[in-house]
Structure 1
Amino acid sequence: MSSEPKPLPFIYQFAAGAVAGVSEILVMYPLDVVKTRVQIQGRVAVAGRDHYTGMVDCFRKIIANEGASRLYRGIGAPILMEAPKRATKFAANDEWGKVYRNLFNAPKMTQGLSILTGATAGATEAFVVVPFELVKIRLQDPAQAAKYSGLLDCVTKIIRTEGPLTLYQGLESTIWRHVLWNAGYFGCIFQSRIQNSPVVAGGVRKYGWAVPSLGLVMREEGFGALYKGFLPKVLRLGPGGGILLVVFTGMMDFFRGMRGEA
């Protein structure tokens, strides 16, 4: 029976993960645009804006009314996010593993420590992810996108007009998502709303903390509103996960061959 391949150094895992992540983004990004558009629209149509009845209707109206290139609006943010995101994920997981092994006097990682380490690394990663996702969502939203000429202009104007801490709107829900992911993702589906919500009279944002925002969305739009964008998200997770796995595995095999370890 052949033995497990020897783990490659971190830099190769990071590079393979980054290439896989960017490949997935390039192929699946239009579904993310559709998901965001469906999530952030209200129940009632707004005059002068397209209102979408579902995923296919959203695709059709974006292409017909705004052009196919709009499906890639804001893609620079997630692409730029891939490198720091991957670096933070791997580095945080490694460092938190050392912390917990020392804390619990564990000679090696266990199932429980792996879960705890992954959850903590996810929370750490959220601090890197949030600003990029906020910019991406602002550029995807037709009501907001007209304010910005591009990614750098969006970042500059947000910092200048709303303050640097605005880049961390939605941090709480993003932490929940990255820590709990499968169990918590659909409960935190309103993240787009928090990151895209304007300041109303009195300087208070409509969507602030995670749990109160859940209740507000349910009261105003019903429980089903928490699952807006569910279909395009599921469609992206399936093929997107396949792309990530195939490209990552292929890159790791390429690096092993390059190092003479194949």
Structure 2
Amino acid sequence: MSVASQKKSLPFGYQFLAGAIAGISEICTFYPLDVVKTRMQLERGQSPSLVASFRNIVAQEGFGRLYKGLVPPLLLEAPKRATKCQWSRLLEPPLMPIKYSGQSTMTLGLSTLTGCSAGATESFVVVPFELVKIRLQDKATTFKGPIEVIKHILKTEGALGLYNGGYFGTIFQVKAYLPKPDSPQSRLMNDFVAGTFGGLVGTAMNTPFDVVKSRIQGAGKVPGVVPKYGWTYPSLALIAREEGLRALYKGFVPKVLRLAPGGGVLLVVVEVTLGFFRKALGPPYI
């Protein structure tokens, strides 16, 4: 096959748009599970079950409460997907120089490195949005919207108050074990299975840290009072000592129910959207 006839990668803008569409689709579908997850993580002591939490929120606060705080994650999707797409382009051969990577094709190591690099960079963008979202999701919140939350944090805690690799590696490894797809349908099924397993493994790895993040971000700063939850590892030990190790996995069920199938949905929507763009642009992208 000549160089001229080789299939080209889609321009960054199209990859970014496909990721954003997929991310927004996943958020709108599974967001109520994120609200329930945050509520369970903010509970001290015994928290209600998943079903009980859903029932309590709807009965006491109305169905619309399950979508409280939706605006920040929707606004976050564009910069979040841009970060992931850019790291994928930088680290995936042949864009990454072979003299640095030593590889001419994507490997488990490079795939994991892509995820870790994207996650580390993304955190600088994600944290403020997550903080606002959690303040809005809290049952005791008095904030009416994200702008009110931001103004309150800037006024009481300052700008720094907004800043109070398993997924990609697992996807790569699962895809390697799955039968080679022989049709667009089987390719989409492989993407869904790999994304689901990636979401499951990623959730199992990061839930304790997510619990700590919710506790730190959920507590407002009170002048003259030392926050109970400050740094990550001391907070992990404190929660385990006071509430037991199981408390570090509060909200695991709603989180895994969102991120496991959500990861599969994300990959499928990305591939379907990219396929649409390739057909629309024609050769040499198809």
TM-score, with length taken from structure 1:
0.83
CA contact (8 A) 1:137 1:195 kept: yes
Match of 1:91 among 78, 82, 86: 86
Structure 1 vs Structure 2: percent identity of aligned residues?
51
Contact 1:31–1:232 at 8 Å: present in 2 too?
yes
CA separation in 1, counterparts of 2:105 and 2:267? 24
Q: Which residue of 1 aligns with 2:193?
A: none
CA distance in 1, matches of 2:52, 2:244: 21
Aligned residue identity for 1:185: N
Q: Secondary structure at the match of 1:142?
A: coil
Which deviations, in whole Å up to 9, do the C-alpha atoms of 1:132-165 show, x marking residues without a partner? 111000000022x21x221111111111121111
Q: Give the corresponding residue for 2:252.
A: 230
Residues 40-84 of structure 1: CA deviation (Å, up to 9, x unaligned): 01116xxxxxxx521100100111110000000000000000001
Q: Which amino acid aligns with 1:184?
A: M
Superposition pairs for residues 127-142 of structure 1, below 5 Å? Answer: 127-142=124-139
Aligned residue for 1:48?
none
- 2: distance between equivalents of 1:248 and 1:116? 21
2:50 to 55, 59, 62: 55
1:85-130 Cα deviation digits (max 9, x unpaired): 1112222444467998588474756633443343222211111111
2:153 aligned residue: 158
Structure 2 counterpart of 1:21, which letter?
Answer: G
* 8 A Cα contact 2:91 2:110, kept in partner: no
Kept in 1: contact 2:156–2:221 (CA 8 A) = no
Correspondence 1:181-260 to 2 at 5 A: 181=202, 184-190=205-211, 191-199=213-221, 202-260=224-282
Please state how far the C-alpha of 1:198 moved relative to its aligned partner: 3.2
Separation of aligned partners in 2, 1:244 and 1:159: 34
Q: How many angstroms does 1:182 deviate by?
A: 5.3
| Structure 2 residue identity aligned to 1:231 | V
Structure 2: distance between partners of 1:177 and 1:118: 7
Residue 258 and residue 94 in structure 1: after superposition, are their counterparts in 2 closer, same or farther (change >3 A)?
Answer: closer
Q: Is the 8 A contact 2:229 2:235 kept in 1?
A: yes
Take 1:184 and 1:243, find their aligned partners in 2: how far apart are those partners?
20
* Matching of residue 120 in structure 1 with residue 114 in structure 2: no
Q: Aligned pair 1:27/2:59, yes or no?
A: no
Tell me whether 1:37 sits opposite 2:39 in the alignment.
yes
Q: Secondary structure at the match of 1:184?
A: helix
Residue matched to 2:66: 71
The answer on whether the counterparts of 2:112 and 2:168 sit within 8 Å (CA) in structure 1 is no
Question: Aligned residue for 1:172?
Answer: none
Contact 1:176–1:188 (CA under 8 A) maintained in structure 2: no
C-alpha distance after superposition, 1:205-241 (max 9, x if no partner):
2111111111000111111100110111111123212
Q: Residue in 1 aligned with 2:188?
A: none
Sort the Cα spacing of 1:105 and 1:189 in 2 relative to 1 into closer, same or farther, 3 A.
Answer: closer
Does the CA contact (< 8 Å) of 1:100 and 1:113 recur in 2? Answer: no
Alignment partners' CA distance in 1, 2:83 and 2:282? 28
Aligned-residue CA RMSD (Å): 3.0
